[in-house]
Amino acid sequence: MATAKYPITPKGATGVLVLADGTCVFGRGFGAVGDAVGEVCFNTAITGYQEIMTDPSYAGQIITFTFPHIGNVGTNPEDVEREAPHALGCIVREDVTEPSNFRNVQGFDAWMAQTGRIGISGVDTRALTRRIRMQGAPNAVIAHDPAGKFDLAALHEKAKSWPGLVGMDLAISVTGAQREWAGGVWSLGQGYAQGEGSEKPHVVAIDYGAKDNIFRSLVKAGARVTVLPATASYEDIMALNPAGVFLSNGPGDPAATGEYAVPVIRKLLDANMTIFGICLGHQMLALAGGAKTIKMHQGHRGANHPVKHLEKGVVEITSMNHGFAVDAKTLPDNVVETHVSLFDGSNCGIAFTDRQAFGVQYHPEASPGPQDSFYLFEKFVGGLR
Ligand SMILES: NC(=O)CC[C@H](N)C(=O)O
């Protein structure tokens, strides 16, 4: 049996990304020391690295930022989509510099170390991104050792034996507990708006790994929000007497979310509940309606993805983070395609013709990203009594 040959670790290299095919990409490690295995994706957003790192939809993934300067405004406790990062780590072009921003509380490097996330800087992120574009998102191990002593064969073995995101249910591992949501969207000098009031329409939001800005956006649109964990049963949901149910984003394969998600959504559809789904929630809504989802070649991750609203013929610039998509060819007769990606024509929105249920593949709550699509929150909450 031929033994794979591994390169000599270059002098000064304290970080390495070892792909499942044995490719080793060296750089300088920062953040936590150790290693982690997942799928490597790329994100083209220029701002919002802290929001991106803390988006639970990135569980099981290592993010390559195509923008070269990451970490230069540090971190703060407000720009998080969840209390801690969910991405396993990140790969960046330039070394993380001293934070330069009046909102900085902790440097990106220290924040990554404290939250157990590994970074590698000094990587040719353009080459890595081109590779993902041409060959698809690889599985890999990201490793950081200040001594630069890597057992590349062992890391390669770990990358090869990781089963991959297809068929992987991760929503169950990132969901939170039941909670009454308080707080609207953040603004400079004001912090998070307060949004109380029991006379507002009550939305039960199912947390499959939600970004907090979705809940803040629902509050801004005029809802009172109760968050339930991903495992909430149909009975748990109905006991709260919701005016509408929101299905959140989340990590992993939508087709692998098991008995706790799609069958519950199917019951909500049967009960003619008003439903709005975002990203994973959109994909599972489509599955509950009878459609299928597919793994994408490279996925969509960035803050400027053009989407066409088919009925109005207008373009929305959107924030995206997904590696699976609804296969529009499989939509049943009572579900129409409402939005498509102008990058590759993939499905970006659906609506049931015989139910008050719709979903979008992109992130109308932005964070980071443009706010063209906030109307979807107003449409959902405005339609509730
Ligand atoms: N942001 C999300 O909800 C992502 C959904 C799903 N995990 C995907 O990658 O397509």
At residue 91's C-alpha, the angle toward residues 301 and 322, to 5°, is 20
Mutate to test the pocket of ligand 1, among 51, 170, 280, 298 (most ligand atoms within 8 A of CB): 280
| Residue 252 marked as a ligand binder | yes
ipTM of the predicted assembly exceeds 0.95 = yes
The answer to whether residue 365 is catalytic is yes
Does position 196 have pLDDT exceeding 50, yes or no? yes
> Tell me, what's the pLDDT at 1?
47
- 249 in contact with ligand 1, CB cutoff 6 A: yes
> Tell me, what's the pLDDT at 288?
98
In which residue are the tokens 């199912």 written? 206
pLDDT tens digits for range 29-62: 999 999 999 999 999 999 999 999 999 999 999 9
Does position 198 have pLDDT exceeding 80, yes or no? no
Cα-based distances in Å from 28 to 48, 97, 174: 22, 13, 29
Per the DSSP assignment, residues forming a β-bridge with 337 are: 350
The CA distance from 257 to 132, in Å, is 26
Ligand 1 center–CA 249 separation, angstroms: 6
Does position 195 have pLDDT exceeding 70, yes or no? no
Helix (H, G, I), strand (E, B) or coil at 383: coil
Cα-based distances in Å from 380 to 80, 219, 223, 262, 356: 25, 12, 10, 20, 9
Mean of pLDDT values over 80-103: 96
Per the DSSP assignment, residues forming a β-bridge with 231 are: none
**pLDDT averaged over every residue in the chain:** 96
Does position 194 have pLDDT exceeding 80, yes or no? no
The answer to whether residue 348 is catalytic is no
Mean of pLDDT values over 70-93: 96
Sequence-separated (6 or more) residues with CB below 8 Å from residue 345: none
| Residue 57 marked as a ligand binder | yes
Note the pTM of the prediction, 2 decimals.
0.96
The answer to whether residue 363 is catalytic is yes
> Tell me, what's the pLDDT at 342?
98
- 369 in contact with ligand 1, CB cutoff 6 A: no
| Residue 101 marked as a ligand binder | no
Q: Is the peptide bond before 306 cis (omega within 30 degrees of 0)?
A: no
Confidence of residue 328 (pLDDT cuts 50, 70, 90): very high
> Tell me, what's the pLDDT at 258?
81
Mean of pLDDT values over 275-287: 98
Domains of the chain (ranges plus CATH)? 15-161 (3.50.30.20), 171-382 (3.40.50.880)
